[in-house]
Amino acid sequence: MTTTRPDLAVEHDGSSSMWTSRVRRRWLSTLPPDKLLPDRQPAYVASWIYVFGVLTLAAFLVILLSGLVLSFVGPAWYHTASVGRFINSLHFWSVQLFFIFMVIHLWGKFWMAAWRGRRALTWMTGVVCFLASLGTAFTGYLVQTNFDSQWISFEAKDGLNAVGIGAFFNVANLGQMLLLHACLLPLVVGVVVVWHVLLVRRHGVVPPIDAVAATDPVQDVTETKAVS
Protein backbone atom coordinates (compact mmCIF):
# COMPACT_ATOMS: atom_id res chain seq x y z
CA MET A 1 0.00 0.00 0.00
CA THR A 2 1.50 3.33 -0.91
CA THR A 3 0.59 6.58 0.64
CA THR A 4 1.01 9.68 -1.44
CA ARG A 5 2.91 12.16 0.61
CA PRO A 6 3.94 14.86 -1.81
CA ASP A 7 5.66 16.90 0.92
CA LEU A 8 8.13 14.06 1.52
CA ALA A 9 8.70 13.17 -2.09
CA VAL A 10 9.43 16.51 -3.62
CA GLU A 11 11.39 16.06 -6.78
CA HIS A 12 13.07 18.93 -8.39
CA ASP A 13 13.37 19.60 -12.12
CA GLY A 14 14.66 16.74 -14.21
CA SER A 15 15.28 14.60 -11.19
CA SER A 16 12.76 11.81 -11.61
CA SER A 17 15.21 9.40 -13.20
CA MET A 18 18.01 10.16 -10.79
CA TRP A 19 19.21 7.23 -8.74
CA THR A 20 18.71 9.21 -5.58
CA SER A 21 15.16 10.12 -6.46
CA ARG A 22 14.35 6.58 -7.45
CA VAL A 23 15.76 5.18 -4.23
CA ARG A 24 13.96 7.78 -2.20
CA ARG A 25 10.66 7.13 -3.94
CA ARG A 26 11.09 3.41 -3.45
CA TRP A 27 12.05 3.83 0.18
CA LEU A 28 9.11 6.09 0.96
CA SER A 29 6.69 3.76 -0.72
CA THR A 30 8.05 0.69 1.05
CA LEU A 31 8.94 2.08 4.44
CA PRO A 32 7.21 5.38 5.04
CA PRO A 33 7.94 6.98 8.41
CA ASP A 34 4.77 5.69 10.00
CA LYS A 35 5.85 2.17 9.23
CA LEU A 36 9.45 2.70 10.23
CA LEU A 37 8.58 4.36 13.52
CA PRO A 38 5.00 3.35 14.18
CA ASP A 39 2.88 4.64 17.01
CA ARG A 40 0.37 1.89 16.65
CA GLN A 41 0.24 -1.78 15.91
CA PRO A 42 -2.54 -4.26 15.19
CA ALA A 43 -4.66 -5.01 18.22
CA TYR A 44 -3.77 -8.71 18.08
CA VAL A 45 -0.18 -7.85 19.01
CA ALA A 46 -1.04 -8.30 22.64
CA SER A 47 1.07 -11.00 24.17
CA TRP A 48 4.28 -11.05 26.15
CA ILE A 49 5.78 -13.34 23.55
CA TYR A 50 6.20 -10.31 21.36
CA VAL A 51 8.79 -8.70 23.60
CA PHE A 52 11.47 -11.29 22.95
CA GLY A 53 12.47 -9.81 19.63
CA VAL A 54 13.29 -6.43 21.13
CA LEU A 55 14.89 -8.12 24.15
CA THR A 56 17.17 -9.96 21.75
CA LEU A 57 18.05 -6.68 20.07
CA ALA A 58 18.75 -5.09 23.43
CA ALA A 59 21.01 -7.96 24.42
CA PHE A 60 22.80 -7.59 21.10
CA LEU A 61 23.45 -3.96 21.91
CA VAL A 62 24.92 -4.83 25.31
CA ILE A 63 27.08 -7.47 23.64
CA LEU A 64 28.36 -4.90 21.16
CA LEU A 65 29.08 -2.29 23.80
CA SER A 66 30.86 -4.67 26.16
CA GLY A 67 32.68 -6.13 23.19
CA LEU A 68 33.81 -2.69 22.11
CA VAL A 69 35.42 -2.13 25.49
CA LEU A 70 37.11 -5.53 25.33
CA SER A 71 38.33 -4.87 21.82
CA PHE A 72 39.78 -1.56 22.95
CA VAL A 73 42.05 -3.25 25.46
CA GLY A 74 42.73 -6.56 23.77
CA PRO A 75 41.85 -10.19 24.40
CA ALA A 76 44.18 -10.84 27.32
CA TRP A 77 43.30 -7.83 29.46
CA TYR A 78 40.54 -9.46 31.39
CA HIS A 79 42.77 -12.20 32.77
CA THR A 80 44.62 -9.80 35.00
CA ALA A 81 42.47 -6.73 35.56
CA SER A 82 39.39 -6.99 37.75
CA VAL A 83 37.61 -4.30 35.76
CA GLY A 84 38.44 -6.27 32.66
CA ARG A 85 37.04 -9.37 34.26
CA PHE A 86 33.80 -7.52 34.99
CA ILE A 87 33.52 -6.28 31.41
CA ASN A 88 34.19 -9.82 30.26
CA SER A 89 31.41 -11.00 32.56
CA LEU A 90 29.06 -8.42 31.03
CA HIS A 91 29.96 -9.77 27.63
CA PHE A 92 29.51 -13.38 28.76
CA TRP A 93 26.09 -12.89 30.35
CA SER A 94 24.76 -10.64 27.63
CA VAL A 95 25.58 -13.44 25.18
CA GLN A 96 23.72 -15.93 27.36
CA LEU A 97 20.72 -13.58 27.52
CA PHE A 98 20.98 -12.93 23.78
CA PHE A 99 20.62 -16.60 22.95
CA ILE A 100 17.94 -17.18 25.57
CA PHE A 101 15.80 -14.36 24.20
CA MET A 102 16.51 -15.20 20.56
CA VAL A 103 15.54 -18.84 20.93
CA ILE A 104 12.33 -17.97 22.81
CA HIS A 105 11.63 -15.45 20.02
CA LEU A 106 12.20 -18.24 17.49
CA TRP A 107 9.88 -20.60 19.37
CA GLY A 108 7.19 -17.93 19.44
CA LYS A 109 7.55 -17.14 15.76
CA PHE A 110 7.40 -20.82 14.88
CA TRP A 111 4.18 -21.44 16.78
CA MET A 112 2.72 -18.32 15.23
CA ALA A 113 3.77 -19.51 11.77
CA ALA A 114 5.12 -16.04 11.34
CA TRP A 115 6.28 -16.69 7.79
CA ARG A 116 2.72 -16.38 6.47
CA GLY A 117 1.60 -13.53 4.28
CA ARG A 118 4.77 -13.15 2.22
CA ARG A 119 6.94 -13.05 5.30
CA ALA A 120 9.13 -16.00 4.33
CA LEU A 121 12.11 -13.70 3.93
CA THR A 122 11.55 -12.35 7.43
CA TRP A 123 11.73 -15.89 8.76
CA MET A 124 14.76 -16.69 6.65
CA THR A 125 16.71 -13.60 7.67
CA GLY A 126 15.88 -14.50 11.24
CA VAL A 127 17.36 -17.96 10.78
CA VAL A 128 20.44 -16.46 9.15
CA CYS A 129 20.78 -14.15 12.16
CA PHE A 130 20.63 -17.21 14.37
CA LEU A 131 23.22 -19.14 12.39
CA ALA A 132 25.51 -16.13 12.04
CA SER A 133 25.21 -15.55 15.78
CA LEU A 134 26.26 -19.13 16.40
CA GLY A 135 29.35 -18.55 14.30
CA THR A 136 30.09 -15.27 16.03
CA ALA A 137 29.75 -16.83 19.46
CA PHE A 138 31.96 -19.70 18.34
CA THR A 139 34.76 -17.36 17.30
CA GLY A 140 34.26 -15.55 20.59
CA TYR A 141 34.86 -18.71 22.57
CA LEU A 142 38.00 -19.26 20.52
CA VAL A 143 39.55 -15.90 21.41
CA GLN A 144 39.20 -16.10 25.18
CA THR A 145 42.93 -16.97 25.29
CA ASN A 146 42.36 -19.44 28.10
CA PHE A 147 42.00 -23.20 28.53
CA ASP A 148 38.49 -23.21 27.08
CA SER A 149 39.79 -21.66 23.85
CA GLN A 150 42.55 -24.21 23.67
CA TRP A 151 40.15 -27.11 24.02
CA ILE A 152 37.49 -25.71 21.74
CA SER A 153 40.02 -24.97 18.99
CA PHE A 154 41.51 -28.43 19.36
CA GLU A 155 38.14 -30.14 19.10
CA ALA A 156 36.48 -27.88 16.56
CA LYS A 157 39.32 -28.25 14.10
CA ASP A 158 38.29 -31.86 13.53
CA GLY A 159 34.73 -31.07 12.55
CA LEU A 160 35.77 -28.21 10.32
CA ASN A 161 38.69 -30.03 8.74
CA ALA A 162 36.45 -33.00 7.99
CA VAL A 163 34.38 -30.86 5.66
CA GLY A 164 37.22 -28.82 4.23
CA ILE A 165 36.36 -25.61 6.05
CA GLY A 166 39.51 -25.91 8.15
CA ALA A 167 41.56 -25.29 5.05
CA PHE A 168 40.74 -21.61 5.15
CA PHE A 169 39.17 -21.10 8.57
CA ASN A 170 41.88 -21.95 11.09
CA VAL A 171 40.45 -22.10 14.59
CA ALA A 172 43.96 -22.12 16.02
CA ASN A 173 44.84 -18.84 14.36
CA LEU A 174 44.06 -16.30 17.04
CA GLY A 175 44.55 -13.37 14.70
CA GLN A 176 42.07 -14.68 12.17
CA MET A 177 39.50 -15.69 14.76
CA LEU A 178 39.79 -12.41 16.64
CA LEU A 179 39.28 -10.31 13.54
CA LEU A 180 36.38 -12.44 12.43
CA HIS A 181 34.84 -12.20 15.88
CA ALA A 182 35.33 -8.50 16.42
CA CYS A 183 34.96 -7.19 12.88
CA LEU A 184 33.51 -9.32 10.15
CA LEU A 185 30.94 -11.45 11.91
CA PRO A 186 29.35 -8.70 14.04
CA LEU A 187 29.01 -6.72 10.83
CA VAL A 188 27.31 -9.64 9.11
CA VAL A 189 25.02 -10.20 12.07
CA GLY A 190 24.30 -6.48 12.30
CA VAL A 191 23.42 -6.16 8.63
CA VAL A 192 21.14 -9.19 8.68
CA VAL A 193 19.50 -8.04 11.92
CA VAL A 194 18.76 -4.64 10.41
CA TRP A 195 17.36 -6.32 7.30
CA HIS A 196 15.23 -8.60 9.47
CA VAL A 197 13.83 -5.72 11.52
CA LEU A 198 13.10 -3.63 8.42
CA LEU A 199 11.21 -6.56 6.95
CA VAL A 200 9.11 -6.77 10.08
CA ARG A 201 8.40 -3.04 9.85
CA ARG A 202 7.57 -3.34 6.20
CA HIS A 203 5.19 -6.29 6.36
CA GLY A 204 3.84 -5.65 9.80
CA VAL A 205 3.43 -8.22 12.52
CA VAL A 206 1.82 -11.35 11.14
CA PRO A 207 -1.92 -11.65 11.83
CA PRO A 208 -3.29 -14.58 13.75
CA ILE A 209 -3.75 -17.88 11.97
CA ASP A 210 -7.18 -17.89 10.32
CA ALA A 211 -7.58 -14.20 10.99
CA VAL A 212 -10.22 -12.32 9.11
CA ALA A 213 -10.13 -8.61 8.63
CA ALA A 214 -12.86 -6.74 10.42
CA THR A 215 -14.44 -5.67 7.18
CA ASP A 216 -17.28 -6.98 5.09
CA PRO A 217 -16.44 -10.55 4.03
CA VAL A 218 -17.65 -9.75 0.52
CA GLN A 219 -15.06 -7.04 0.29
CA ASP A 220 -12.40 -9.50 1.41
CA VAL A 221 -13.11 -11.66 -1.58
CA THR A 222 -12.75 -8.86 -4.07
CA GLU A 223 -9.78 -7.14 -2.48
CA THR A 224 -7.38 -9.99 -2.82
CA LYS A 225 -4.44 -8.25 -4.41
CA ALA A 226 -1.39 -8.87 -2.35
CA VAL A 227 0.44 -5.89 -1.05
CA SER A 228 4.20 -5.69 -0.82
Q: Which of residues 182-221 bind other proteins (CB under 8 A)?
A: 204, 206-217, 220-221
Q: Residues binding other proteins: what is the number (CB under 8 A)?
A: 114
Single out the residue of 203, 200, 139, 148 nearest to residue 174, CA to CA: 139
- For residue 223, the tally of other CB atoms under 10 A from its CB is 11
Single out the residue of 71, 69, 89 nearest to residue 182, CA to CA: 71
Backbone angles phi, psi at 116, to 5 degrees: -65, 165
Q: How far apart are CA 160 and CA 17, in angstroms?
A: 49
Backbone angles phi, psi at 63, to 5 degrees: -60, -50
Beta strands in 81-148 (DSSP E): none
Among 15, 74, 154, 194, binds other proteins (CB under 8 A): 154
Indicate whether 181 belongs to the interface with other proteins (CB under 8 A). Answer: no
Comparing CB distances to other proteins, the nearer of 61 and 68 is 61
Q: How far apart are CA 61 and CA 63, in angstroms?
A: 5
Among 23, 54, 73, 194, binds other proteins (CB under 8 A): 54
Among 16, 18, 22, 41, binds other proteins (CB under 8 A): 41
Q: How far apart are CA 154 and CA 165, in angstroms?
A: 15
| Binders of other proteins in range 108-147 (CB under 8 A) | 108, 110-113, 115-120, 123-124, 127-128, 130-131, 134, 137, 141, 144-147
Indicate whether 150 belongs to the interface with other proteins (CB under 8 A). Answer: yes
Comparing CB distances to other proteins, the nearer of 87 and 186 is 87
Comparing CB distances to other proteins, the nearer of 21 and 45 is 45
Indicate whether 33 belongs to the interface with other proteins (CB under 8 A). Answer: no
What is the contact mask toward other proteins in residues 55 to 94, using x (rule: CB under 8 A)?
x-xxx-xx---x-----------xxx-xx-xx-xxxxxxx
